Amino acid sequence: MHSHLNLHPVLLLVLLFLVFGGSCNFASNGHAAFARSQQAAMRVDHFNVELLRSTRIGSFKTLQSLDCVPHYFYERELTDLTPFGIESGITLSQGRPSAHHESEHLFINGKTYGRNTSSWENAPANDDAHPDWVVLSISKDPREECGAMKRGAGFGYVAYDKVLKSGKIEYLGKQRINDHKCNEYHVTFPDRTYVESTICLGTKDDLPYRVIGDDWSATYGYDAVERLSDPGANPQAP
């Protein structure tokens, strides 16, 4: 026996509206979307972020990896100055700044390490370059950030507590970030001044995949953090 499903054209249009229109309404409810995202982020214990910033002085790229089990943080900052940035940074004592500068910070096994290239084109005797890892007094312990993640207060560059408490959220549409489909929202909330950003939340996992500020953008990834070895376990020979 063969059966055929014949739908009236009007009924078919209604069904299509419910399917696609309901999907749009689901995404356009900004506060509900961020509430789901907050819950999803609270279950995450690590992330990787690429932060890009561009100004008249130069372009700045920061790569960050955070892991809460156990606490680990790595950050690499790359700076490329524009001709204006170089001219603006000239000093009588140090001369011209380097057009390209790199620095790294690492928190592992309870200690913070750092290393960096020279800040100066022709470094004098008191050069600030540290090509090898050295212990730093300023801690990069991610404990506070991990606590904020578990409480649902924040997640890197997403302030869930402030967005959900007093934020204005406007649905902008769908995007694709590194092969991940996401719903994009324009978000504003008061925080000393008025903070404004554009945030894209994954359609499958509700996690943030990109945050855009006035002159910067942060792109998230959730692959396992690739940990560096502990410099303290292999000290440099004198």
Residue 85 lies in a domain: yes
Label each residue of 72-130 as H, E or C.
EEEEEEEEEECHHHHHHCCECCCECECCEEEEEEEEECCEEEEEECCCECCCCCCCCCE
Same domain, 168 and 132: no
pLDDT in tens, 5-63: 454 554 444 444 444 444 445 577 999 999 999 999 999 999 999 999 999 999 999 99
Q: Is residue 23 part of a domain?
A: no
User: Which tens digit of pLDDT belongs to each residue from 227-237?
Assistant: 999 999 865 54
Angle in degrees, CA 32, 36, 39, rounded to 5:
140
- Single out the residue in 108, 124, 144 at which a domain terminates: 144
The answer on 37 and 85 residing in a single domain is: no
Tell me which long-range contacts 186-190 makes (C-beta under 8 A, separation of at least 24).
Answer: 187/30, 187/34, 187/163, 189/159, 189/162, 189/163, 189/165, 190/166
Range of the domain at 72: 46-144
List the CATH number of the domain containing 169: 2.50.20.10
Radius of gyration of the chain (CA): 24
Residues 82, 117, single domain; the answer is yes
Q: How many domains does the chain have?
A: 2
Query: In this structure, is residue 60 part of a structural domain?
Result: yes
Q: Are residues 69 and 186 in the same domain?
A: no
In this structure, are 81 and 124 located in the same domain? Answer: yes
Say what percent of the chain tops pLDDT 90. Answer: 76
Question: What are residue 202's DSSP bridge partners?
Answer: 182
The pTM assigned to this predicted structure is 0.83
In this prediction, residue 139 carries a pLDDT of: 96
Which residues, in sequence order, are bridge partners of residue 107? Answer: 73, 112
Same structural domain for residues 71 and 159? no
Q: Is residue 161 part of a domain?
A: yes
Q: Identify whether residues 69 and 138 lie together within a single domain.
A: yes
Specify if 21 maps to a domain. no
| 134 domain-assigned | yes
Instruction: Decide which of 110, 144, 178 is a domain's last residue.
Output: 144
Same-domain check for residues 121 and 106: yes
The sign of the dihedral angle between the CA atoms of 151, 41, 77, 104 is positive
Residues 70 and 106 in one domain: yes
Query: Average per-residue pLDDT in the chain?
Result: 88
* 7 falls within a domain: no
**CA-to-CA distance for 155 and 20, rounded, in angstroms?**
31
Domain boundary among 95, 110, 144: 144
- The answer to whether 184 and 174 have CB atoms below 8 angstroms apart is yes
Domain assignment present for 96: yes
